[in-house]
Each structure stands twice: as structure tokens, then as C-alpha cells.
Amino acid sequence: MARIAVSRDLVLELAKAARLELTGEETDRYTQQLNVILDAFRELDEVSTGGVEPSYHPIEIEDKLREDVVEKWQWDPLANVVDSEGKYIRGPKIK
């Protein structure tokens, strides 16, 4: 993997894309901090993971959904409707 170093120009380009206005001091500080972060990831890349089974989630996840049971409604949704036709609400005619 190619070693990518964060330069001052890259930080300024990222700041422009994010519509941030950085001072010279902030640009230098962010350049250094981003390089430290990338170095930490490079160290992780060097760790040997051969023979290690992948772990997708540290805790086993179970479905917590209830069984889907059909129940009859306890109320009539059309009880307070002034004008209905069958199981539909009749509205005013559109002219």
C-alpha cells in the first residue's frame, strides 16, 4: 500500500471542499494531526491477522420481534363518519 502523507495543500483543499476557512496555524495543526492518525492506521495494518476468524459483532444479536398475530379491531373506524359507502368514506364531489 502506498504511503500517503497529508500535506498542507491537501488540508487546504479539504477545507475548501468543506467550505471551512482555516488560519495558517490551524492548517499546520490539522496537517500534523491527520498524519498522526494515518500513522496509527498504518500500525494497525502491520498487525498479523492470519488465522483470526472475522467478528462482525461482539454481541450475538437475536430477533426481538414478536410473532405476527392478526387480531380483530376493537373499534369501528367508520362509526363517526357522516357519509360512508360500504367500508369507504364518501367525500364531497370534485367539480
pLDDT one-digit tens code per residue, 2-40: 677 899 999 999 999 999 999 999 999 999 999 999 999
Q: Is residue 54 part of a domain?
A: no
Tell me the C-alpha to C-alpha distance, in Å, between residue 20 and each of 3, 13, 36, 37, 39: 26, 10, 21, 20, 25
Rounded to whole angstroms, the Cα distance separating 35 from 6 reads: 6
Q: Is residue 61 part of a domain?
A: no
* pLDDT higher at 3 or 46: 46
Instruction: Check residue 1 and give its pLDDT.
Output: 56
Q: Count the neighbouring beta carbons within 10 Å of the beta carbon of residue 58.
A: 5
> Residue written as cell 373506524?
77
| Mean pLDDT across 40-68 | 84
**pLDDT exceeds 70 at position 67:** yes
User: For residue 39, what are the domain limits?
Assistant: 8-45
- Total structural domains within the chain: 1
Using 50, 70 and 90 to split pLDDT, how confident is the model at 95?
Answer: confident
